[in-house]
Structure 1
Amino acid sequence: MENSKLPLQVWILAFMFISATKNGFSCLEFQGQLGLSRYETAFKLMHKIRAVMGRRDSLYLLKDMVEYDEGYVEVATKKQIKNQLKRGKGSQRQAQVAVAVESTPLENFSSTTFPWIV
């Protein structure tokens, strides 16, 4: 992003498009979504973002004991709910969220260390 001729808004939109989609998409589609005039610009931008995301993933590997859980978060507003959104499985009101956390057991855990825990 530093010393780039692209506006900050284009960078932010590019990060949003790449991180918000489950499936990948072509650079040509990416170019159209961002409104870029040159294919090479979209290609380089996409590859720079992918490289940064890949480097970040290698820095934060979960080790030892990993806990995984999934749940649902409500994403629809009350106004949208009133407009009869789809219900049940595949609901438009809720988005599925998955979380993985590295956990380490506490050593010498007792109620004297944490008096509020019985």
Structure 2
Amino acid sequence: MRLSPRELAVIDSGAAAAEVTRATYMARAALAAAADPERTAALIASNRETLAKLFAAHRTLRANGNLLNQAVKALHTGQRPAQLDAAVLSVQEAAEELKDATGRFVALMNPQRPEGR
């Protein structure tokens, strides 16, 4: 199994808190997940759903950012595009969606971390 240094640090922190070795901690965690497959499946589904929302928010922000860039380009030619206000609002909404989705994903990946940090 390959894990990133960050993932190993999280596992090592959990193992230290439980006062067991990394291998013991990982074995117990795997057994706990296998013992409650419905909860484990729900957590995995929640992760997938949150990640899908994160990517969707990113795509929306990128698309709306392109619209905003086009509107600003028109402003530089002395024109005020009719869609400028809508483009600005769309970018603001998409940025908020991205922020919310990122926060949900961070909370899922690091449940011990207090919100807002």
Instruction: Name the TM tier (shorter chain).
Output: under 0.3
Larger strand proportion of the pair: 1
Larger helix proportion of the pair: 2
For normalisation by structure 1, the TM-score amounts to 0.27
For normalisation by structure 2, the TM-score amounts to 0.28
